[in-house]
A and B are shown apart, each in its own frame.
Chain A
Amino acid sequence: MQINRRAFLGLSIAAVAATAAAAGTYGGWTLMHSGAQPLLLSARNDSAGKHFAVGYRLDGSQVFATQVNERCHDVIGHPFLPMALFVGRRPSTQSYLIDTRDGRLLQTVHSPEQRHFYGHAVFHKDGEWLYATENDTSDPGRGVLGVYRLQGEQLQRVSELSTHGIGPHQLLWMPDGETLAVANGGIRTEADSRVEMNLNAMESSLVLLRRDGSLVSKEQLPERMNSVRHMAVANDGTLVTGQQYMGELSDAVPLLAIKRPDQPFQHFPVDDAQRQLMSQYTASVAIHSELRLLALTAPRGNRVFIWDLDSAALRLDAPLADCAGVGAVANGFVVSSGVGRCRLYDCRNPQISSTPLHLPAGLWDNHLRLV
């Protein structure tokens, strides 16, 4: 069925929203796409260092590769329209709204004066609003959420909220689709810079807030230099975060944390053998809600891990050079790499098997989305 895009975009957003919400998008895998292969969206470079927003089918066929000015980080698909925002990597002031059918650049979204993107954003389930984590560079590190409204094919920034913390990074919806979870990394950086200013006074937190900006909860991990950066949310509301520890390489600090429904935010039990392999750095986390699995990439340790979300039993500890993005598909997880081939980890059997995918090798950025 060929849908005329103009006509499609012209539909009332609210009318389509109900259908999309029913399909559910938690755990990164959505039943909307049964029958067709999901589209893998990611930021990628070419070997000359040019930046691209790309979309591929998992069989390796390219849907689009659109060159963009600046390197992007995460990608947020619209809940029901064929468009996605490729979010500028910190300290970029640009994000790119892309038509995911042909890669057409619909809009270069600019952050306002004294704000830059942190690489992450989310679309609200009704498709009309987008929230992006941003840095208030007039008070470096003060976390704000830029609130953008989608009108036609354009996002317009209409207001902003506080993230109730410093250096926010990833944000996601809780299953109600109305409560936002924000990882405040706790690190202050200035405009045009990636250099940490406050390693001796870091203040990282996991914040839950409502869409009006009011605070639901704010929790911290015990280690001051442990920066909460990435997260995944299961369809039952279990939330997992991946940390980067800014202290010494030899310090023994857990890098994975969990907040189960109605429970405090706390470390997820990881054995020393796996913790040590992470080299104090995690890149992406993903949850497979149906299989109840948790996947994590650790590109400094060149390691991919999968645990049982409920029992915390280790299911996979495998080498993959510069492993980057991870996302759930029906069978398990797809993992990309900055230097080698992407892999599919089939998790349906007790023994997880990996298969290289026929996608271009290397230069994939830290996040991927399957829509």
Chain B
Amino acid sequence: MIRSPLTLALLSLTLTACSPSDPQQQVSRALTDGVLLPIYSAWSEADRQLAASGQAFCAGQQNLAEARQAFASAQSAWAAVQPVAFGPLAEGNRAWQVQFWPDKKNLVARQVEALVNSKPELTPADLDKSSVVVQGLTAYEYLLFDPAIDLNVAEQKARYCPLIVAIGQHQQVLATDVQSQWQAKDGMAALLKDFPNARYAEAPEAVAELLRTQVSAIDGLKKKLGTPLGRQSKGQPQPYQAEAWRSNASLTNLAASLASAERIWLGAEQDGIQALLGSDHDALKQRINAAYSDTRQRLAAAQRPLGELLSDEVGRAEINALYDSLNVLHRLHESELAKTLGIQLGFNAHDGD
């Protein structure tokens, strides 16, 4: 039996909880209020507008261009969430419900068509019971942008509108639910502010989760370029494997994700992860700042959508350079920053045993 020694050890751990001046706790608090909650609010608001737009479009009160604009905002807000997508979003299959990517077999097109064929009078409740493939932004994008669909034709609009409305509602409910789980009394935001708690034994565990999610999102951005570049398929470009290829928003999404990642690093008021680096690490700080700046500038300089860039030598060279820039940024975080801060990003998760 375990008796008192263990109990004593546990008590002493509880008593050594962080004081308010603990820098890790300060960073976790500052990022929660200054960066994370605003990102989740923006996403929730964008999905509220998406749902309203879907209904307005189907009621003939919005045109296709306006509906596409509302979709673009929702998609961009979702891209911004990805570097902070832990907690409720990582549970209950929610991330898949928002976006189905990668979609190697074009399941989105097949399942959307199968669904509207089988349920011409589709309701939001029907959609809730359907596959994640048809519940999210990827299916919505297919409906609004796929060359095989023309929503300016009344028949087609009538065919797809129940699904457009249902996806908008599904996304709004999902985002509102996630946001309320962040803001609840003992919700995610509270867990990131005072330690120890049911989720984090101490502030460093919270900071580690913040950094881990951000670094894994930056790694994800590499994949979002690497897949269509054909880095996993012997160099043969695969433009239809790109995220958001139908809406030509691959690079816009990338920029939105990158901006969030940079906000985690900087903080709303210079109180992000970088605040944990002492003055003796100014050189590393500058290199990371420079890497963000380089990636940002390359993205801003891209004048054409990803699909077009992949179609010629010059464009591919541009995307390859962007990939390399992201790679530098990723490595600076993964090895140097994490090591300097003494944060273990992963150990067993990719073990394979």
Please list the residues of chain A having a beta carbon within 8 angstroms of any beta carbon in chain B. 34-35, 37-38, 45, 47, 57-60, 73, 89-90, 119, 169, 194, 229, 244, 250, 272-273, 276-277, 281, 283, 299-302, 318-319, 321-324, 329-331, 338-341, 343-344, 354-358, 361-366
Contacts and interface: CB of A to CB of B under 8 A. Distances in A.
B125 interface: no
Interface stretch (B148-156, B297-305, B315-323, B343-351): B343-351
A144 to B, nearest CB: 18
Given A322-B346, A356-B13, A73 B353 contact: yes
Given A47-B344, A339-B346, A339-B347, A250 B96 contact: yes
Contact of A90 (B6, B13, B353): B353
Nearest to A331: B2
Contacts of B90: 277, 301-302
22 contacts: A37-B5, A47-B344, A58-B6, A90-B353, A169-B353, A273-B93, A302-B349, A321-B208, A321-B209, A330-B2, A338-B344, A338-B346, A339-B208, A339-B212, A339-B345, A339-B346, A341-B202, A358-B9, A361-B205, A362-B347, A364-B347, A366-B353
Nearest to B343: A339
Nearest to B13: A358
Contact of A277 (B91, B198, B212): B91
B279 interface: no
Contacts of A281: 349
Given A119-B353, A169-B353, A340-B205, A283 B212 contact: no
A250 B105 CA distance: 12
- 3 tightest Cβ-Cβ pairs between the two chains A and B: A338-B347, A356-B201, A59-B9
A339 B344 contact: yes
A222 B165 CA distance: 39
Given A58-B2, A73-B353, A341-B202, A357 B345 contact: no
Contacts, number: 122
Given A59-B9, A356-B13, A358-B13, A276 B347 contact: no
Contacts of B351: 283, 299, 366
Interface in B10-47: 10, 12-13
A341 B6 contact: no
Contacts of A365: 347-348
A277 to B, nearest CB: 6
B1 interface: yes
Given A301-B90, A324-B348, 14 more contacts: A35-B1, A37-B5, A38-B2, A250-B132, A273-B91, A299-B351, A321-B208, A322-B344, A322-B349, A338-B348, A339-B208, A341-B201, A357-B9, A365-B347
Query: Which of B100, B212, B347 gathers the greatest number of chain A CB atoms within 10 Å?
Result: B347
Nearest to A35: B1
Interface in B322-353: 339, 342-353
A45 to B, nearest CB: 7
Contacts of B12: 358
A323 to B, nearest CB: 8
B199 interface: yes
Contacts of B124: none
A38 B343 CA distance: 29
B196 interface: yes
B9 A58 contact: yes
Given A90-B353, A250-B96, A283-B351, A354 B346 contact: no
Contacts of B60: none
A23 to B, nearest CB: 14
Contacts of A272: 93
A60 B13 CA distance: 11
A322 B198 CA distance: 16
A8 B10 CA distance: 35
Contacts of B348: 283, 299, 322-324, 338, 364-366
Contacts of A169: 353
B351 to A, nearest CB: 6
Given A34-B1, A90-B353, A338-B349, A363 B344 contact: yes
Contacts of A73: 353
B92 interface: yes
A95 to B, nearest CB: 15
Contacts of A299: 348-349, 351
B8 interface: yes
Contacts of A356: 10, 13, 196, 201-202
Given A119-B353, A341-B202, A322 B347 contact: yes
A363 B347 contact: yes
A330 B353 contact: no
A354 to B, nearest CB: 7
B2 A229 contact: no
Contacts of B352: 194, 244
Contact of B205 (A90, A321, A338): A321
Nearest to B339: A47
Given A302-B90, A339-B208, A356-B196, A59 B5 contact: yes
A89 B205 CA distance: 27
Nearest to B191: A319
A15 B345 CA distance: 48
Nearest to A359: B9
Given A250-B96, A276-B92, A276-B93, A329 B347 contact: no
